[in-house]
Structures are given as C-alpha cells and as structure tokens.
Amino acid sequence: MSQYNNVSVVKKANVYFEGKVTSRTVLFEDGSKVTLGIMLPGEYEFGTAQKEIMDIQAGELSVLLPGNDKWLEINEPAKFEVPANASFKLKVKTVTDYICSYID
C-alpha cells in the first residue's frame, strides 16, 4: 500500500535538530498514529516514550539500539523496533525517508 487512506494529517511539521529531522503526523480513525519523516545526513539521538517501530523507506544509516554495543547497518528498506522509555542513536549517511509507528 503506497498511501494511507481515510486519515487526518496535522498541518504543522514536527521539527528537530534545526530541521535536519522533520516529520508529519498522520492520525488514524482508531486513535493510533504514525509520523512520516525525513532525516538529513548527521548524527542524532532520540528518546522514546512509547514503543516505536521505525520503517526505513529509503536511505542509508547506522542505528545503535538500546542495550546494544554493535551498530546495525541499514542500506535498503528495513524495519527496527525501539522499546518504550529508551534512547537510540542514528548515524544517517544519505537522506532517509521513514515511517515511525507508535505502539501502546
């Protein structure tokens, strides 16, 4: 499925790291949401409140997941999961297009 149907979209962007990471919030009828985001090359650390599933649609990056000492290399579309109340690090090498889902 290349698009979400019957959703709401928040007009204002979410802006982080001086705009090097931005996203748009998409709300579903059942109350769940995803963000559709772009990350430009750089190094970032994020904290989670809920569990998150990151679906990398395009881009090359390395990810350090909580409790890991080895970076995960992503060079093609891939998903990874981050537990709630944790932090993870990213080294983004090329413009990265992602979908982040939030799980209760």
The minimum distance between CB 21 and a copy of itself, in angstroms, equals 10
Q: Is 57 in the site for a copy of itself (CB under 8 A)?
A: yes
Q: Is 8 in the site for a copy of itself (CB under 8 A)?
A: yes
What's the burial of 96, exposed, middle or buried (CB within 10 Å: 0-12/13-18/19+)? Answer: buried
Q: Is 103 in the site for a copy of itself (CB under 8 A)?
A: no
Q: Is 2 in the site for a copy of itself (CB under 8 A)?
A: yes
Cα separation of 4 and 26, whole Å? 9
Which amino acid is present at 15?
V
The residues that touch a copy of itself, with contacts defined as CB under 8 A, are 1-13, 15, 18-20, 22, 24, 26-27, 36, 38, 40, 57-58, 95, 97, 99
